A = this chain, B = another copy of it.
């Protein structure tokens, strides 16, 4: 029996994109199902498959749901284990990758969102936080081509999906991420040369349009 793989996702979600990149790295075929989150409509399938958080992404593998993007990427790595290993095999390196991926989840999304959801002093503080977080990550990257060394892997996936939001952050915040973190941007461009990444990430201009729309709706502009 062939595997049935379905991804419940939303085009602009950096968390959903992580699952897309991981599946692409593995060459796994799957059915992509877009949730209409822009209009705050959640499908019955989503509510049934992730009743706890009611959030995308959800990977449905032969009818069984896996939720939370980093858990999904680890699951994908374990199921399609013969191709393109994503997590390091050595326990200490694995713990290190998990730590920094968790750091991204705890810090980066909120700091990034505040850049376009706030104005004035609050926005300035958010920009400072955001750059500080990226500099910590850039420090971890060092002079390696990828976060885990010579090969593209788990931690690259955890971070690269934010890259298509950088244009929106920069335009709303009127600052340049590249001026602050040139090595990180060089790494991002390196990742974008991979088809698994370039084909999975959203168009940065469309992300910016989405941000403008949400700002207008919330009265931030």
List chain A positions with a Cβ less than 8 A from chain B. 52, 61, 64, 66-68, 71-72, 74-75, 78-79, 91-92, 94-95, 98-99, 102-103, 136
Main secondary structure of the interface of A (DSSP, over half): helix
Copies per assembly: 2
Partner of A78, one of B78, B91, B102: B91
B79 contacts A91, C-beta separation under 8 Å: yes
Which chain B residues lie closer than 8 Å to A61 at the CB level?
92
Chain B's closest residue to A67 (CB) is B99
9 further A-B pairs in the complex, CB-CB below 8 A; given A66-B95, A74-B95, A78-B94: A52-B136, A68-B102, A71-B95, A71-B98, A71-B102, A74-B94, A75-B91, A75-B92, A78-B91
Asked, given contacts A52-B136, A136-B52, whether A71 binds B92 with beta carbons under 8 Å apart, the answer is no
A92 contacts B64, C-beta separation under 8 Å: yes
CA separation between A52 and B92, bound complex, in Å? 17
B136 contacts A103, C-beta separation under 8 Å: no
A103 contacts B52, C-beta separation under 8 Å: yes
Which chain B residues lie closer than 8 Å to A52 at the CB level?
103, 136
Which chain B residues lie closer than 8 Å to A75 at the CB level?
91-92, 94-95
- Shortest distance from the beta carbon of A3 to any chain B beta carbon, whole Å: 12
- Shortest distance from the beta carbon of A89 to any chain B beta carbon, whole Å: 10
A99 contacts B68, C-beta separation under 8 Å: yes
Which chain B residues lie closer than 8 Å to A102 at the CB level?
68, 71
CA separation between A98 and B91, bound complex, in Å? 17
CA separation between A64 and B74, bound complex, in Å? 23
CA separation between A61 and B52, bound complex, in Å? 36
CA separation between A92 and B75, bound complex, in Å? 7
Chain B's closest residue to A96 (CB) is B66
CA separation between A94 and B70, bound complex, in Å? 13
- Shortest distance from the beta carbon of A57 to any chain B beta carbon, whole Å: 13
20 of the cross-chain contacts (CB-CB < 8 Å) are A52-B103, A52-B136, A61-B92, A64-B92, A66-B92, A66-B95, A66-B99, A68-B102, A71-B95, A71-B98, A71-B99, A71-B102, A72-B95, A74-B94, A74-B95, A74-B98, A75-B91, A75-B94, A78-B91, A78-B94
